[in-house]
Structure 1
Amino acid sequence: MHTELDDEFWRAATTLPRKRTLYSRDSLFLEGYYDASFIWQEQMASLLARVALVLFKSETIAGQRLQVAHTLLTAQGFAAVAAEPVRFTGGLFHDLWRYQFQRATSDKIRLYTRWAAGTNGVVAAYIQTAPAPRRPASVSMKVFKGPAAVERRQPEQLRSLMASPNSILNFVHASDEPADVLRELAILVPAERRDRVWRAIATADFEAGQAELLALADRFASGPPHDLDVAAAGERLAAKCSANGAAGQRYFDAVTTREKLLVLRELELALGARCAEVDPIDVIVFASGFVRRDLPLPGELDDDCVPGWDALDSVLR
């Protein structure tokens, strides 16, 4: 038994006609939709409006800033109800950002699929406890998180409060709106663990959810935190390039003085045999300050677009 993919459902799931068209034949969205509707049944619309999904990225885990982010979310009226560890893979990133990667540079894609692959993350489901009747919890979370571009953020947004220095080292990803919660949970949580999360959302045991998330924060805090400093990460990479020979050092110096654009495959050649010794977080942090991010092309979905929800109060009642 499941809720039908009819006009009423889509009005509660997205305000973007293009997303409705794309997701209607997106197997990942459909898997999440059928899973949730089987567990939630007649609660589908109300629970979908209340839940927000947050992915704490590898820099948050390596820098041991998960608990800080969670505290800020709690203060904003979001309560964790479930949390799961995520081991990133190249395929996972392609699935998660299928539509956004259409306008990403090859180096931005490689930064995730070559260097972030194999690192750790945490995905958490949050219920919005503070009333926001004019829009779903996922949209409120999206707004509080703030955009990727530093110059477009407000001081009170999460990425600003966490001192995110650029659009890549931005600590968190959040689902844009209800349709994305369904799709992204299907991507980030394995099938054998997913029903547990759907049920936790329905049960809304805030004490258990917070305990799960804090236990994961402790699990990933066994060693010293990464400094997440672009210059310091660069110094560590420079030492590896220098150890690989003069050519490697020259390339690295040219990148840091911006005489050359950072090309990840060239950086990997400059590192040479030392590449295997490099902390991938160092590459992510350093490249975040130098890599070319996006191409001047339109994507099928605008990553920072959440239009129309404030006008749809009646859908959420």
Structure 2
Amino acid sequence: MRVTGVEAAFNATTGAPVPDLATVPSQSATKRHYFAQETSYRETWALIQDMAGRGANAAWSRHTYILFKPDAVVSHAVRKGLALLAECGFEALACAPLSITRHQLRELWRFDMNKVPVERLAAADLLFSAGEALVVLLRDPTGSGASERLRDLKGHAKSANRAPDQLRARLGAGDFLLDFVHSPDEPADMVRELGLLLTRRQLAHFVSVMTGAASAEPAEVVAMAGAMEGQVGHHPLDLSASLGRFAAAFGDRPRPEIARPTPAPLQAGAADWQEVLDALLQARTPSPLPQLERIHGLPERILALAAGDPRRRLWPDQDLELWDTVVIAAKLSQRDLGGVKSLLEEPLAVA
């Protein structure tokens, strides 16, 4: 790979080489191509090269991380998740609580976001703005490739595609946005993603623990998980219950009069806002109307109402919780554009 003037200046500053295709630990040729030029990957690679030297590749292979998302925290699934990981042989070494911004979110899943509808992006923003996440550094003593082993143990983002003994299934995680955890697929992803999620000080601490220059703190990881769960109430993240509470908020009024959100273009066949309210008014029990899952406009309207401040009550005189809004938006928004491949699935153009 030709080294540009900018890259040469980067080398001179850090004393570490710009990664070439051979130093990007990935099975994907497309990923190796992109990551060798990607800023977060290059910065993180330079740091571990400075701190670990020739042991860098071995350090990344023996370690991985897991991100417990805000939905795992509000479900009180973090400590259980740590216990299940320990049962499978993973050692929790260090952790950092995070408030993940919308910009970090887009960078973290940059190579997949091209196939995600704008409505779904807004739902993801609402989820990650609803609370903190916890990133945990893990060591795999088996030496079989930590990221790959955790990837296989974790289970699919879609619940129907999980085995009963996989982590997400055992935690009772939902589908896709509400799937509780994220982890890197292979070491190259770990290098890039920790550089996006952590401050430089946090990243240096993780690398120090990985190389043995700093002590592991497993008890502090468990304590942090317990503290985070203790700071929030428990929410079941159940669509039926959330829709039921939404409908019950209007159950005593024949025709609620509320300010409509700024009109947005409707997809073909989508219901208008009043039609959504009318459908909700008919739900007198915690069970939602089946047809609500076919009303494409619902998540857009809910998100529009929350746009000013997602932590305020959407209805001034009603007790509609933020997490009910998250659940409805996450479970009813369109998951992908259909027929669009992620950037890493597209073949490289050959000049």
Q: CA deviation at 1:26?
A: 1.4
Q: For the pair shown, which has the larger CA radius of gyration, 1 or 2? A: 2
Whichever structure has more helix as a proportion of its residues is 1
* Aligned counterpart in structure 2 of residue 218 of structure 1, from 223, 226, 233: 226
Tell me, yes or no, if the aligned pair for 1:90 and 1:114 is still in contact at 8 Å: no
Q: How does 1:143-154 map to 2 (within 5 A)?
A: 143-154=152-163
2:283 matches 1:250: no
Q: CA deviation at 1:224?
A: 3.1
Instruction: Find the residue that maps to 1:92 and give its secondary structure.
Output: helix
Instruction: Find the residue that maps to 1:52 and give its secondary structure.
Output: strand
* Aligned counterpart in structure 2 of residue 57 of structure 1, from 53, 64, 69: 69
Structure 2: how far apart are the matches of 1:253 and 1:22?
A: 51
Larger RCO (alpha carbons 8 Å, 6+ apart): 1
Cα distance per residue 1:113-167 (max 9 Å; x no partner) = 24422521000110102342xxx21011111111212222222211111122322
Q: How does 1:45-84 map to 2 (within 5 A)?
A: 45-84=57-96
Tell me, yes or no, if the aligned pair for 1:116 and 1:280 is still in contact at 8 Å: no
The match for 1:300 is 343
The match for 2:217 is 209
Tell me, yes or no, if the aligned pair for 1:81 and 1:204 is still in contact at 8 Å: no
* Aligned counterpart in structure 1 of residue 295 of structure 2, from 253, 260, 263: 260
RMSD across aligned C-alpha pairs, in angstroms? 2.7
| TM-score calculated relative to the size of structure 2 | 0.76
Unaligned runs of 5+ in 1: 303-317
Structure 2: how far apart are the matches of 1:21 and 1:118?
A: 35
Cα distance per residue 1:187-214 (max 9 Å; x no partner) = 11112322111111222978x4322211
Q: Partner letter of residue 67 of structure 1?
A: R
Cα distance per residue 1:81-126 (max 9 Å; x no partner) = 1100010211111111111111112121111124422521000110
Q: CA deviation at 1:289?
A: 2.7
* Aligned counterpart in structure 2 of residue 234 of structure 1, from 214, 238, 243: 243
* Aligned counterpart in structure 1 of residue 192 of structure 2, from 175, 183, 205: 183
Tell me, yes or no, if the aligned pair for 1:110 and 1:264 is still in contact at 8 Å: no
Instruction: Find the residue that maps to 1:98 and give its secondary structure.
Output: coil
Tell me, yes or no, if the aligned pair for 1:241 and 1:270 is still in contact at 8 Å: no
| TM-score calculated relative to the size of structure 1 | 0.83
The match for 1:283 is 325
Q: CA deviation at 1:31?
A: 1.7
